[in-house]
Amino acid sequence: MSSNKKKYENGIILKVDKPIGWTSFDIVNKIRNTLKLKKVGHAGTLDPLASGLLIVCTGKYTKKIHEYQDFDKEYIGSFIIGKTTPSHDLETEFISSKSIKNITKEKIMNTTKSFIGNQYQIPPKFSAIKINGERAYKKARKKENVILKPREVRINKFEITAINLPKIDFVINCSKGTYIRSIARDYGNKLKVGAFLNELKRTKIGNISINDSVSIEKLINKIKKDLNEDNKK
């Protein structure tokens, strides 16, 4: 058995900076096909329109996935207030628009503070949660009625880093299972003007930082180099 291939089979934690446009499964699939290894999985989905830190486990380390899933996550991003979409991001078309002329910095800061702590959050209808065996987003795309139960989540930190209305930049640290798109929806509802998630980047999972990650291109090149070294032996 080749030594580098064996290393991946025994288990490695890979830290990928997922680009916009890729699904989390696209990343896993690319690594799986390059390694020719079935046991590859990720530890927490990022939406296709989101970027940032994605942890991928190989081989025997796929048993560790749940450990990383349980870690708190940190994100940076922006909301656009005054408009809404069915998916609460840019995946779907705008469905409403309201004036934001009465939105002040004080209102924004007070609304932000109200999210800190434990709370019940309704996941987005456009999510991968299963309803009777079918993904919620598939039902939502077919315009079927989607009812999702509230889930308890925790917001540890929610800070506004810039206000350039209608855009509001933020940093959020939260528990597993928290949907930032749902925060965008609820944020807009509290301001009474609506909002959607404009951009999102995951910067931390537990103590692991985006600074520890590499691009998918660099990672694939590294894997190919490792496997080529095995072939030369």
Distance of CA 180 to the CA centre of its chain: 8
Regarding whether 34 and 117 lie in a shared domain, the answer is: no
pLDDT at 2 (0 to 100): 55
Catalytic residue among 17, 26, 47, 89: 47
Q: Does residue 66 sit in the same domain as residue 116?
A: no
Look up 47 and say whether it is catalytic: yes
Question: Consecutive 10-residue runs of the chain (233 residues): their mean pLDDT?
Answer: 84 97 97 96 94 97 96 98 96 96 98 98 90 87 89 98 98 97 98 98 98 98 92 72
Which tens digit of pLDDT belongs to each residue from 197-231?
A: 999 999 999 999 999 999 999 999 999 999 998 87
Task: Write the Ramachandran bin of 137: left for phi over 0, alpha for psi from -120 to 50, otherwise beta.
Answer: alpha
CATH number at residue 223: 3.30.2350.10
Q: Given this model, what pLDDT does residue 33 score? A: 97
Backbone dihedral region of 194: left (phi > 0), alpha (psi from -120 to 50 degrees) or beta? left
Domain span holding position 26: 3-70+207-232
CA distance 218 to 204: 20
Count of the separate structural domains present in the chain: 2
Tokens of 120: 């019940």
Tell whether 61 and 151 lie within a shared domain.
no
Phi and psi angles of residue 44, each rounded to the nearest 5 degrees, phi first: 130, 110
pLDDT at 53: 98
d(CA 18, CA 214): 9
